């Protein structure tokens, strides 16, 4: 729907997702550590202790979100300028991100609750809540972007408001879910300070990992932005479509994280290892299948987002190449999540740091300076994904991560 406004609006919203990656660094601080410990408590049959940790992390998330909202609201235009975006993208993007920043607390809580329930083994409830949220988001996008049912057409600002409405209703749904006695986790207002500290100790490595990854992605995107607005928009469209292929990998990475953590908590390390292997096999079958579809029908998929010919060419090139990399990407998704579920966040930090900077960012910068076309940047990205997938496979097979202490 945003693509119907303009190519600049599409690029602005897409670029804002890169900023959200930085904000995800802070969410990772409490989410990953919380997941690892909640999964272990559930594996040990200690539901009340897991619920108390969720409550404490919720309060932590609310406090943290206040500072992020202030920084995002007042610094949005500066962030777009820093990325080297054109003036029209900066103007549109800053309006969008200012509104989104006001609802950061909703995003923080939604992310925490979704991941906590997944760590506890309840993914079906989150599925229904996300389906409801997506439907609400789509409806209010239609109403507020274009102006229907008596509302004015707010364009890109309407898209931001629609997003926040959907997050708010998700939080309401999660609240009532947690109040049910039959829920995997409950709403128990007890603060266990030692558990919160344990979660943050595990989470800081994951947060640093995500921070380094986010900075590298921002540098990577700034290199792509140097090729022009159409190139940037094409990359963002391709990334969104690739998200369809991400979903099986993302889903089974959550499965691996939860099952590995729960079985380690139950002191069954062999089963914990096998759960990651099984999740990985299913994920790369699904993602590999979707990858074939990306390779065969790229222009058809891109046509839903934009009619700009140059943007379609760039996005199609991206989809063909990433379609080839879906299997190593699936391995990377699932095995890295399994390691995090075991609390081995320092290992994932080291792998991601060296892989992203040595094999993606630095070669991409050199390629740009050499005057190579944008497709060369996409090829470099795929090579880095392949190498990272191989590294994660090797580390996982060694099984040393199974004995990580939390």
* pLDDT tens, residue order, the chain (406 aa): 777 777 777 777 776 776 777 788 888 888 888 888 888 888 888 888 888 989 999 999 999 888 888 887 787 777 777 666 667 777 777 788 888 888 889 999 998 998 888 888 787 888 899 899 999 989 998 988 888 887 887 787 888 899 899 999 999 999 999 888 888 888 788 888 888 888 888 788 878 877 887 788 778 888 888 888 777 778 878 888 887 777 778 888 888 888 888 888 888 889 989 998 999 899 888 888 888 988 998 888 888 877 778 888 888 888 998 888 888 888 988 998 889 888 887 888 889 888 888 898 899 999 999 889 888 988 998 899 899 999 999 999 988 888 877 6
Q: Look at residue 135 and tell me if it is in a domain.
A: yes
Q: 316: which 2 tokens?
A: 């199609």
Residue 221 is assigned to a structural domain of this protein: no
Are 225 and 308 spatial neighbours (Cβ–Cβ below 8 Å)? no
Residue 215 lies in a domain: no
Same domain, residue pair 186 and 231: no
Query: Is residue 120 a contact partner of residue 38, using CB atoms and an 8 Å limit?
Result: yes
- What tokens appear for 179 in the block? 């109040």
Instruction: Decide: 323 and 238 in contact? Cβ < 8 Å.
Output: no
The answer to whether residues 254 and 394 belong to one domain is: yes
- Statement to judge: residues 64 and 16 lie in one domain: yes
Instruction: Give the range of the structural domain holding residue 302, as residue numbers without chain letter.
Output: 226-406
The residue among 166, 201, 236 that closes a domain is: 201
- CB distance 124 to 184 below 8 Å: no
3-state secondary structure 243-278: HHHHHHHHHHHHHHHHHHHHHHHCCCHHHHHHHHHH
Is 337 within the bounds of a domain?
Answer: yes
58 and 12 in a common domain? yes
User: Are residues 337 and 400 part of one domain?
Assistant: yes
Provide the number of structural domains found in the chain.
2
Where do we find the tokens 């993606």?
A: 360
Cβ-proximal residues to 187 (8 Å cutoff; 6+ apart), any chain: 51, 55, 175, 178, 179
Q: Which of 137, 166, 201 corresponds to the end of one domain?
A: 201
In this structure, is residue 315 part of a structural domain?
yes
Query: Is 104 within a domain?
Result: yes
298 shares a domain with 181: no
- The answer as to whether 298 is a domain residue is yes
- How far apart CA 341 and CA 39 sit, in angstroms, is 8
Do 282 and 246 belong together in one domain?
yes
Q: Tell me how far apart the alpha carbons of residues 298 and 295 are, in angstroms, rounded to a whole number.
A: 6
Regarding pTM above 0.75, the answer is: no
Instruction: Verify that 178 and 291 share a domain, yes or no.
Output: no
Task: State how far the Cα of 299 lies from the Cα of 153, in Å rounded to an integer.
Answer: 29
- Rounded CA gap, 161 and 231, in Å? 27
* Same domain assignment for residues 309 and 361: yes
Residues 39 and 167 in one domain: yes
| CA–CA separation, 351 and 109 (whole Å) | 29
- Tokens representing 146 are 């274009």
Verify that 31 and 141 share a domain, yes or no.
yes
CB-based burial label for 398 (10 Å; 0-12, 13-18, 19+): exposed
CA gap 185, 122 in Å, rounded: 9
147 dihedral zone (left: phi>0; alpha: psi -120 to 50; beta): left
257 lies in the same domain as 406: yes
Tokens coding 338: 């399994």
Q: Within 83-155, where are the H helices?
A: 87-102, 104-119, 124-146
Note whether residue 216 is domain-resident.
no
């Amino acid at each position: 729907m945003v693509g119907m406004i303009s190519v600049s609006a599409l690029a602005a919203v897409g670029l804002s997702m890169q900023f959200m990656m930085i904000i995800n660094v802070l969410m990772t601080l409490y989410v990953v550590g919380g997941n690892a410990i909640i999964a272990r408590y559930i594996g040990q049959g200690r539901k009340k202790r897991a619920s108390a940790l969720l409550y404490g992390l919720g309060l932590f998330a609310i406090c943290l979100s206040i500072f992020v909202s202030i920084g995002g609201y007042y610094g949005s235009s500066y962030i777009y300028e820093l990325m080297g975006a054109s003036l029209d993208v900066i103007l549109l993007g800053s309006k969008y991100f200012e509104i989104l920043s006001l609802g950061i607390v909703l995003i923080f809580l939604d992310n925490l609750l979704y991941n906590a329930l997944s760590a506890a083994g309840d993914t079906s409830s989150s599925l229904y809540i996300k389906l409801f949220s997506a439907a609400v988001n789509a409806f209010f996008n239609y109403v507020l972007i274009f102006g229907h049912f008596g509302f004015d057409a707010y364009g890109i600002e309407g898209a931001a408001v629609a997003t926040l409405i959907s997050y708010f209703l998700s939080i309401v749904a999660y609240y009532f879910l947690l109040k049910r006695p039959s829920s995997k986790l409950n709403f128990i207002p007890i603060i266990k300070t030692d558990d919160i500290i344990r979660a943050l100790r595990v989470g800081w490595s994951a947060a640093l990992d995500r921070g380094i990854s986010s900075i590298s992605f921002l540098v990577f995107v700034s290199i792509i932005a140097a090729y022009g607005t159409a190139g940037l928009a094409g990359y963002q469209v391709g990334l969104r479509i690739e998200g369809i292929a991400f979903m099986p990998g993302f889903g089974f990475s959550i499965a691996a994280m939860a099952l590995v953590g729960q079985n380690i908590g139950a002191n069954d390390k062999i089963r914990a290892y096998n759960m990651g292997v099984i999740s990985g096999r299913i994920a790369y079958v699904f993602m590999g299948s979707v990858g074939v579809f990306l390779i065969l029908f790229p222009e058809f998929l891109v046509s839903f987002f934009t009619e700009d010919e140059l943007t379609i060419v760039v996005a199609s090139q991206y989809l063909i190449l990433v379609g080839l990399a879906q299997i190593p990407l699936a391995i990377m998704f699932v095995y890295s999540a399994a390691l995090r579920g075991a609390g081995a966040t320092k290992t994932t930090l080291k792998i991601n740091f060296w892989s992203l900077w040595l094999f993606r960012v630095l070669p991409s910068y050199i390629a740009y300076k050499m005057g190579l076309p944008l497709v060369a940047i996409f090829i470099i990205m795929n090579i880095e994904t392949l190498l990272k997938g191989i590294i994660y496979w090797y580390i996982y097979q060694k099984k040393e991560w199974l004995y990580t202490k939390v």
